[in-house]
Chains A and B, each alone.
Chain A
Amino acid sequence: MALKVLVGCKRVIDYAVKIRIKPDKLGVVTEGVKHSMNPFDEIAVEEAVRLKERKLAKEIIVVTCGPPQAAETIRTALAMGADRGIHVEIPLDQMDTFQPLHVSKVLAKLAEKEKVDIVMLGKLAIDDDSNQTAQMTASLLDWPQGVFASKIDKTDAGLEIIREVDGGLETIRTTLPAVLSADLRLNEPRYATLPNIMKAKKKKVVKMTPADLGVDMAPRIQIVSVEDPPVREAGQTVADVDDLVAKLKEKGFSSA
């Protein structure tokens, strides 16, 4: 039974960039800053491509919700091996109010429309660290979820997933269809090669808006402020052990 997989990916500020807060303290500077695919989404795309290589999946549809520039992110996913793309366009100035709940609603609608068997996402996006989209999408669809997956296998009844949890590794079994989210150790994503980048240019990408899917964009969350972490204070040099002990007592760290 060859599965149809919908993979979500997000265009975020590149992980190596030094983040700067905007003067209005309501967000971070994004203009002129290097962006790339969210690293966890790269892992998700890679896993979907491997499912296809193992002949467990027959079609991979990659979807992104983002500004016009996000078309590049879709192309990268197509170059990695996805078959076609859906670009849900959000104007750049609305990206700040576009939130995980909206994404989940979009993904749920697309999952039903495209009749997919697996919705595959990264476990979180490195810009907002929300870790909500996979879970909310599963809830909206009323599908089982296997989040923080570090290994995914097909069984007769559905899927067997090993999840990374605080206490160690948890193995669960789900039926299909299901929503999965990729954790760091699921795989090491491939680099897109030039021949594949060239092939990707010919693959189909369909554009649409959230309204086309009947999703309302009204924000549920308002960002109040964004601030730098406090500047690290200089340490104090102590002259000797006695001085250190005296200082510790002074600050209340020693009872003796």
Chain B
Amino acid sequence: AIMRGVPQLLSRARLVRVGFSASEPVLAVQAGILQPDKFTQTFVQIRGLKSSKVISQAPLTAVDIADSGKQLKQELEAIVGPGNVSSGESVVLQHGQDEGPHPGKSPDIVVFPSSTEEVSEVCKICTRHNTPIIPYGTGTGLEGGISAVEGGVCVNVSKNMNKILQIHQEDFSAVVQPGISREMLNQEVRSDGLWFPVDPGADASVCGMCATGASGTNAVRYGTMKENCLNLEVVLADGRIIHTAGIGSRPKKSSAGYNLTSLFLGSEGTLGIITSATVCLHAIPESVAAAVVGFPTVQNAVDTVVMTLQCSVPMARMELLDEVQMKACNEYSGLSYPETPHLFLEFHGSESEVESQTETVRDIAADNEGGEFQWAVQQEDRTKLWTARHRAYYADIALRPGCRSLTTDVCVPVSALPDLVTATKADIAEHGLIGPMVGHVGDGNFHTMLLFDPADPEEFRKCKEVANKMARSAIALGGTCTGEHGVGQGKMVLLEEQFGKDGIDVMRQIKGALDPQQLMNPGKVFSRN
């Protein structure tokens, strides 16, 4: 009888406030609930609380229950100001949905803090109320990372915390708040001859990019977010504020203590809220050249890439577009490339370096059945040459107007790429789907844009099937189920397969230590048990 009644009890349980005494959390249970001890046990298990005991059997009135949410809102307003707390329908809707294909769940409340201290106080309040906390940057993620699966408070740290705190021109680093996007940072530092090279496509929050461990087209030369982050200021669930590499530290290297920066990079909001990031800048290259060359097969293109890397050519960008993608680009941008796999390349360096690099790669491409090698140096010409790659996503959507795309993201050792691409293409054809491919082939990372009709759940299911198969193949080939987008909700099962139970258990233990009440972005990356 108790198990049947549990769902209703649990839904009511969310309305019941959890208070804290100095020593242990307590749970006030509404009178009339059958077997309060059993109920408490289940509640404890789900909430990940260490212990709790029933303190009161007095009836809680309906007003008390409703007040629980009102009280939370009032406490939040006291910290951030009434204008910075909202539970309006469109506000919460916006804050639960990112740019991926999975429908997101709205949080109950959205807050807009203006400082790290306010974020800390917000976390303390949420901890007291046992309410989930979901950090929000620009909402440009693709894996449903901001979906408020268990409701709770969405902490939008980008709206009011939008300053570049420091720029260290000679040290090539900058300290930014979550409201600074990568394009804003670039605009600010370009007059100093510097740039921030991690480019995931979207104009994402730099701190958000730290949370997802973002990468982009330049990673082959300049690294991902992991290689470009020196320090993070993080607010933990209990409100503690820590600096992962040391307070105010920004040396290029350090052997001091555990590498907490690495721990929080890519933690997708499940361990804490990033309130500022110290990131690396690089010198704007003296000379830039772009090139495009077509190949009869993907194998030819990948062989070219492998040989180029083996020749230690410091390529800045190496992108592979398959023939389906090229067709889409031709149609969308009015171009006339042959419908075969193409490599889009970019070279950085001094004028003479760029020239010699281009020569080397031109020869390698020719050795691998490469077609016409088009290249450009002038800014506008380079932009034109790369148009196809820049508009790839929109070109894909235009293939079937009204459709959306499930964008996959796997990464394998480069040598395994041709096999994986071939197998995936066969799978896509077998399922009757359209799936153009774009790859950061220098990293062995590629994306398929699996198109589906949002009104057709069967088609979406097929896309998921193909995507999961791809990820499993990638894991089997020594790769990873996600190269850059993160795990979010959709890849939790795959993560278990990639790491095995013990690996995930270690992650669970770490999370349990930093977030005992399981409040930080619940329902993401891995399950509770």
Would you give the 0/1 interface string for A166-196, flagging 1 where the beta carbon is closer than 8 Å to chain B?
Answer: 0000000000000000000001111111111
* A188 surroundings in chain B (CB, below 8 A): 379-380, 383
Of B62-70, B188-196, B248-256, B325-333, the stretch lying at the interface with chain A is: B188-196
Tell me if A110 counts as interface (CB < 8 A to partner B). no
Task: Please state if B285 and A193 are interface contacts (CB–CB under 8 Å).
Answer: yes
Would you give the 0/1 interface string for B367-399, flagging 1 where the beta carbon is closer than 8 Å to chain A?
Answer: 000000000000110010000000000000000
Query: What are the nearest 4 A-B pairs in CB distance?
Result: A194-B193, A188-B379, A194-B283, A197-B193
Query: In the complex, which residue of chain A has the Cβ closest to the Cβ of B193?
Result: A194
Tell me if A16 counts as interface (CB < 8 A to partner B). yes
Task: Please state if A192 and B193 are interface contacts (CB–CB under 8 Å).
Answer: yes
15 A–B contacts, CB within 8 A, in A order: A16-B184, A36-B191, A79-B193, A187-B380, A191-B195, A192-B191, A192-B193, A192-B284, A193-B193, A193-B283, A193-B286, A194-B193, A194-B284, A195-B286, A196-B193
Task: Please state if A193 and B284 are interface contacts (CB–CB under 8 Å).
Answer: yes
Tell me if A76 counts as interface (CB < 8 A to partner B). yes
* Bound-state Cα–Cα, A39 to B186, Å: 16
* Bound-state Cα–Cα, A79 to B285, Å: 14
* Bound-state Cα–Cα, A79 to B184, Å: 22
* Bound-state Cα–Cα, A187 to B383, Å: 12
* B379 surroundings in chain A (CB, below 8 A): 187-190
- Rounded to whole Å, the gap between the CB of B96 and the closest CB of chain A is 25
Tell me if B74 counts as interface (CB < 8 A to partner A). no
* A36 surroundings in chain B (CB, below 8 A): 191
Q: How many residues of B contact A (CB 8 A)?
A: 15
Task: Please state if B380 and A194 are interface contacts (CB–CB under 8 Å).
Answer: no
Tell me if B187 counts as interface (CB < 8 A to partner A). yes
* A191 surroundings in chain B (CB, below 8 A): 190, 193, 195, 284
* B190 surroundings in chain A (CB, below 8 A): 191-192
* B383 surroundings in chain A (CB, below 8 A): 188
Please give the residue numbers on chain A whose beta carbons come within 8 Å of chain B beta carbons, in ascending order. 16, 36, 76, 79, 187-197
Task: Please state if B187 and A16 are interface contacts (CB–CB under 8 Å).
Answer: yes
* Bound-state Cα–Cα, A138 to B372, Å: 47
Query: In the complex, which residue of chain B has the Cβ closest to the Cβ of A188?
Result: B379
Query: In the complex, which residue of chain A has the Cβ closest to the Cβ of B285?
Result: A193
* Bound-state Cα–Cα, A76 to B192, Å: 9
* Bound-state Cα–Cα, A195 to B190, Å: 13
* B193 surroundings in chain A (CB, below 8 A): 79, 191-194, 196-197
Tell me the chain B residues, 154-191 only, with Cβ under 8 Å from chain A: 184, 187, 190-191
* A190 surroundings in chain B (CB, below 8 A): 379
Residue from A79, A188, A196 with most neighbouring chain B CB atoms (10 Å): A188
Total cross-chain contacts (CB, 8 A):
34
Would you give the 0/1 interface string for B193-222, flagging 1 where the beta carbon is closer than 8 Å to chain A?
Answer: 111000000000000000000000000000
* B184 surroundings in chain A (CB, below 8 A): 16
* Bound-state Cα–Cα, A76 to B191, Å: 7
Query: In the complex, which residue of chain A has the Cβ closest to the Cβ of B282?
Result: A194
* B284 surroundings in chain A (CB, below 8 A): 191-194
Task: Please state if A197 and B380 are interface contacts (CB–CB under 8 Å).
Answer: no
Query: In the complex, which residue of chain A has the Cβ closest to the Cβ of B350?
Result: A195
* Bound-state Cα–Cα, A189 to B190, Å: 12
* Bound-state Cα–Cα, A196 to B351, Å: 13
* Bound-state Cα–Cα, A115 to B286, Å: 32
* B187 surroundings in chain A (CB, below 8 A): 16
- Rounded to whole Å, the gap between the CB of B420 and the closest CB of chain A is 37
Query: In the complex, which residue of chain B has the Cβ closest to the Cβ of A37?
Result: B191
* B194 surroundings in chain A (CB, below 8 A): 194
* B283 surroundings in chain A (CB, below 8 A): 193-194
Query: In the complex, which residue of chain A has the Cβ closest to the Cβ of B190?
Result: A191
* Bound-state Cα–Cα, A81 to B207, Å: 35
* Bound-state Cα–Cα, A194 to B285, Å: 8
* A189 surroundings in chain B (CB, below 8 A): 379
* Bound-state Cα–Cα, A119 to B184, Å: 33
* Bound-state Cα–Cα, A135 to B284, Å: 36
* Bound-state Cα–Cα, A36 to B187, Å: 11
- Rounded to whole Å, the gap between the CB of B289 and the closest CB of chain A is 13
* Bound-state Cα–Cα, A123 to B361, Å: 41
* Bound-state Cα–Cα, A193 to B192, Å: 8
* A196 surroundings in chain B (CB, below 8 A): 193, 286
Tell me the chain B residues, 66-115 only, with Cβ under 8 Å from chain A: none
* Bound-state Cα–Cα, A16 to B383, Å: 23
Q: Using A192-B191, A197-B192 as known contacts, list a sample of 9 further A-B pairs with CB atoms less than 8 Å apart, ordered by residue number in A.
A: A188-B379, A188-B383, A189-B379, A191-B195, A193-B193, A193-B284, A193-B286, A194-B283, A197-B193
* Bound-state Cα–Cα, A191 to B192, Å: 9
* Bound-state Cα–Cα, A196 to B283, Å: 11
* Bound-state Cα–Cα, A31 to B93, Å: 39
Query: In the complex, which residue of chain B has the Cβ closest to the Cβ of A34?
Result: B188
* A16 surroundings in chain B (CB, below 8 A): 184, 187
Would you give the 0/1 interface string for B264-298, flagging 1 where the beta carbon is closer than 8 Å to chain A?
Answer: 00000000000000000001111000000000000
* Bound-state Cα–Cα, A196 to B184, Å: 23
- Rounded to whole Å, the gap between the CB of A243 and the closest CB of chain B is 23
* A76 surroundings in chain B (CB, below 8 A): 191
* A187 surroundings in chain B (CB, below 8 A): 379-380
* Bound-state Cα–Cα, A246 to B469, Å: 59
* Bound-state Cα–Cα, A189 to B193, Å: 14
- Rounded to whole Å, the gap between the CB of A185 and the closest CB of chain B is 9
Query: In the complex, which residue of chain B has the Cβ closest to the Cβ of A186?
Result: B380
* Bound-state Cα–Cα, A218 to B190, Å: 37
- Rounded to whole Å, the gap between the CB of A106 and the closest CB of chain B is 25
- Rounded to whole Å, the gap between the CB of A36 and the closest CB of chain B is 6
* A197 surroundings in chain B (CB, below 8 A): 192-193
* A192 surroundings in chain B (CB, below 8 A): 190-191, 193, 284
Would you give the 0/1 interface string for B26-67, flagging 1 where the beta carbon is closer than 8 Å to chain A?
Answer: 000000000000000000000000000000000000000000
* Bound-state Cα–Cα, A190 to B351, Å: 14
Residue from A16, A36, A192, A194 with most neighbouring chain B CB atoms (10 Å): A194
* Bound-state Cα–Cα, A194 to B503, Å: 45
Query: In the complex, which residue of chain B has the Cβ closest to the Cβ of A72?
Result: B191
Query: In the complex, which residue of chain A has the Cβ closest to the Cβ of B184?
Result: A16
Residue from A188, A192, A193, A195 with most neighbouring chain B CB atoms (10 Å): A193
Residue from B184, B191, B380 with most neighbouring chain A CB atoms (10 Å): B191
- Rounded to whole Å, the gap between the CB of A188 and the closest CB of chain B is 4
* Bound-state Cα–Cα, A192 to B190, Å: 7
* Bound-state Cα–Cα, A79 to B191, Å: 10
* B380 surroundings in chain A (CB, below 8 A): 187-188
* Bound-state Cα–Cα, A206 to B172, Å: 31
* Bound-state Cα–Cα, A191 to B379, Å: 10
Query: In the complex, which residue of chain B has the Cβ closest to the Cβ of A76?
Result: B191
* Bound-state Cα–Cα, A16 to B193, Å: 19
- Rounded to whole Å, the gap between the CB of A237 and the closest CB of chain B is 14
- Rounded to whole Å, the gap between the CB of B89 and the closest CB of chain A is 15
* Bound-state Cα–Cα, A195 to B286, Å: 8
* Bound-state Cα–Cα, A193 to B187, Å: 14
Query: In the complex, which residue of chain A has the Cβ closest to the Cβ of B186?
Result: A191
Would you give the 0/1 interface string for B126-149, flagging 1 where the beta carbon is closer than 8 Å to chain A?
Answer: 000000000000000000000000
